[in-house]
Structure 1
Amino acid sequence: MNTWNKAMITLSLFALVGLTAGCGGKTEPNHAGGGAQPNAPQEETKKKLQWDNPPEMTIDPSKKYKATFQTSKGSFTVELFADTAPKTVNNFVFLAKEGFYEGVTFHRIVPGYIIQSGDPTGTGMGSPGYQFEDELGGGRKYETGIVAMANSMKADTNGSQFFICTGENSKALNSQPNFTIFGKVIEGMDNVLKIDAVPTKRDARGELSKPTEQVTIDSITIAAE
Structure 2
Amino acid sequence: MKNKIYKLYTRVLLLFLATTLCLSVTSCKKAKNEVTGSVKESKKQSKYVRSEEETDLVMLKMADGGEIVIALEPKTAPITVDNFKKLVKQKFYNNLTFHRAVPNFVIQGGDPNGDGTGGAKETITGEFADNGVKNALADNHERGVVSMARNAVSMDSASSQFFIVLSSSADIAASLNGKYAAFGKVVDGMNVVDSISKLETVNQVIKDQPKIDEAYFVKRN
TM-score class, shorter-chain normalisation, is 0.5 to 0.7
Q: Offset of 1:172 from its aligned partner?
A: 2.1
Q: Provide the residue aligned with 2:201 in structure 1.
A: 200
Counterpart of 2:59 in structure 1 is 68
Query: Aligned AA for 1:76?
Result: I
The answer on 1:212 being equivalent to 2:207 is yes
Secondary structure at the counterpart of residue 74 of structure 2: coil
Q: Which residue number in structure 1 is paired with residue 79 of structure 2?
A: 87
Contact 2:56–2:72 at 8 Å: present in 1 too?
Answer: yes
- Counterpart AA for 2:198: A
Q: Kindly report structure 1 stretches of 4+ aligned residues shifted beyond 4 Å.
A: none
Residue 187 (str. 1) matches residue 184 (str. 2): no
Task: Structure 1: state its 5+ residue gaps.
Answer: 1-62, 203-208
CA distance in 2, matches of 1:152, 1:197: 25
Work out whether residues 134 and 179 of structure 1, in 8 Å CA contact, stay in contact via their aligned partners in 2: yes
Q: Residue type matched to 1:198 in 2?
A: L
The one-letter code matched in structure 1 to 2:58 is: A
Q: CA deviation at 1:83?
A: 0.7
Asked whether the equivalents of residues 67 and 222 of structure 1 are also in contact (C-alpha less than 8 Å), the reply is yes
Most deviating of 81-90 and 153-162: 153-162
Q: What 5-or-longer segments of structure 2 have no aligned partner?
A: 1-53, 129-133
> Which amino acid is 1:134 matched to?
G
**Cα contact 1:113–1:169 (8 A) shared by 2:** no
Q: Distance in 2 between matches of 1:224 and 1:76?
A: 13
Residues in 1 aligned to 2:170 and 2:68: alpha-carbon distance in whole angstroms = 19
- What percent of counterpart residues are identical? 33
Shift of 1:196: 1.0
Secondary structure at the aligned position of 1:92 is classed as: helix
- The equivalent residue for 1:142 is 141
Contact 2:115 2:205 (C-alpha < 8 Å) held by counterparts: no
Q: Which residue of 1 aligns with 2:124?
A: 132
Stretch of structure 1 that moved more, 63-72 or 214-223: 63-72
Separation in structure 2 between the aligned mates of residue 142 and residue 213 of structure 1, nearest angstrom: 27
Cα 1:170/1:126, change in 2 over 3 Å? farther
The whole-number CA distance in structure 2 between the counterparts of 1:183 and 1:64 is 13
Q: Normalized per residue, which structure has more helix?
A: 2
Q: Could you say which residue in structure 1 is the equivalent of 2:155?
A: 155
The structure with the larger Rg is 2
Letter in 2 for 1:186: V
The SS at the match of 2:98 is: coil
- AA aligned opposite 1:184: K
Q: Distance in 2 between matches of 1:181 and 1:68?
A: 17
Q: Secondary structure at the match of 1:132?
A: coil
- Aligned-pair distance for 1:64? 6.2
Deviation larger for 106-115 or 165-174:
165-174
Structure 2: how far apart are the matches of 1:170 and 1:131?
29
TM-score by length of 1: 0.64
Aligned-pair CA distance for 1:177:
2.0
1:42-87 CA deviation, whole Å, 9 max, x = no partner?
Answer: xxxxxxxxxxxxxxxxxxxxx9601111013510111001111111
Q: In structure 2, give the amino acid aligned to 1:167.
A: S
Q: What code does the residue aligned with 1:190 have? A: N
Distance of 1:210 and 1:151 partners within structure 2? 16
CA RMSD of aligned residues (A): 2.1
